[in-house]
């Protein structure tokens, strides 16, 4: 069955980076228990208290220096190198662990910590420094940078490309995501509607677990390398 697979779409979430030491959002002690979503992850929160928001993302960006990709990130990079078909890796994560694990093509639908979006010229720049001191945009020099991350109430990136891939894939795999946030939570139904098989790899059944043809539960660092081995066999 696996041999027939010609096109795979993979969606990853915070669970794939958990074993690297990055907090997830909704697990016990997760980021949304420590911070209010409406304060640090909405355009309104940014307008109200930009220092709080810039400081929150500066802290998360700096924390990336303390973590390393794990076996799950590296297994997906191996899949990219060795799978003889189409592969689209979509992540909701704003960390850079897929890239550091060796993946060359990663679609960051919720943006990236290491990217800056200028509110003045609307251009993006690679960024790996604090923003709280209002640095200048490398392109237009305006001191108007914000984190290039998608906040609640904003449209995730590259949705057209994602839906096109979902409608043409024959396998959709969701890894380490709670299925609590749309539109990503709806990808499984979109893929199924187009006839794809669907597989969930998660520590526990996610909110949308029942939508998947198959679910495997356990840590990503174990399940993902196992699945990649099977797929490439």
Q: Which residues bind ligand OAD (CB under 6 A)?
A: 13-15, 18-19, 24-27, 30, 41, 92, 110, 150, 176-178, 180-181, 202-204, 206, 219-220
157 near 108, Cβ under 8 Å?
A: yes
Q: Minimum CB separation from ligand OAD for residue 84, in Å?
A: 27
To ligand OAD, the closest distance from the beta carbon of 202 in angstroms equals: 5
The β-bridge partners of 175 are 12, 201
Nearer to ligand OAD, 35 or 100 (CB): 35
108 is known as an active-site residue: no
- The nearest distance, CB 194 to ligand OAD, in angstroms, is 22
CA 125 to chain centre: 19
Q: In the complex, what is the shortest distance from the CB of residue 86 to ligand OAD, in angstroms, rounded to a whole number? A: 24
Q: Give, for 232, the enclosing helix (H) or strand (E).
A: helix 220-232
* Catalytic residue (one of 110, 210, 211, 217): 110
Give the per-residue SS3 of 15-58: HHHHCCCCCCCCCCCCHHHHCCHHHHCCHHHHHHCHHHHHHHHH
- Closer residue to ligand OAD, CB minimum distance, 120 or 157: 157
Q: In terms of CB distance, is 61 or 110 closer to ligand OAD?
A: 110
- DSSP lists the bridge partners of residue 149 as 111
CA distance 69 to 201: 18
Query: Of 121 and 203, which has the nearer Cβ to ligand OAD?
Result: 203
- C-alpha 161/C-alpha 149 separation (Å) is 18
Q: Is 109 left (phi over 0), alpha (psi -120 to 50) or beta?
A: alpha
- Residue 143 beta carbon to ligand OAD: minimum distance, rounded to whole angstroms: 25
**Cα separations (Å) of 162 from 56, 59, 72, 86, 96?**
29, 30, 22, 13, 20
Query: Closer to ligand OAD at the Cβ: 85 or 154?
Result: 154
Looking at beta carbons, which residue is closest to ligand OAD? 15
The encoded tokens of residue 113 equal 């910590």
115/34 Cα distance (integer angstroms): 24
Question: What are the catalytic residues?
Answer: 110
């Amino acid at each position: 069955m696996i041999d027939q697979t010609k096109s795979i779409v993979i969606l990853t979430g915070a669970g794939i980076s958990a074993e690297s030491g990055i907090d997830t959002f909704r697990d016990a002690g997760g980021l949304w228990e420590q911070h209010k979503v409406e304060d640090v992850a909405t355009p309104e929160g940014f307008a109200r208290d930009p220092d709080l928001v810039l400081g929150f993302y500066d802290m998360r960006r700096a924390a990336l220096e303390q973590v390393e990709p794990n076996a799950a990130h590296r297994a997906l990079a191996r899949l990219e190198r060795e799978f003889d078909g189409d592969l689209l890796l979509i992540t909701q994560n704003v960390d850079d662990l897929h890239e550091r694990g060796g993946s060359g093509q990663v679609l960051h639908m919720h943006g990236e910590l290491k990217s800056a979006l200028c509110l003045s010229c609307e251009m993006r720049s690679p960024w790996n420094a604090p923003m709280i001191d209002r640095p200048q945009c490398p392109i237009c020099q305006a001191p108007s940078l914000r984190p290039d991350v998608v906040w609640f109430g904003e449209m995730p990136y590259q949705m057209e490309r994602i839906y096109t891939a979902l409608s043409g894939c024959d396998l959709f795999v969701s890894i380490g995501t709670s299925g609590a946030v749309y539109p990503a939570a709806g990808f499984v139904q979109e893929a199924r509607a187009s006839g794809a098989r669907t597989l969930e790899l998660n520590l526990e059944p996610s909110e949308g677990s029942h939508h998947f043809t198959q679910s495997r539960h356990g840590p990503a660092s174990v399940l993902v390398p196992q699945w990649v081995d099977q797929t490439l066999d």
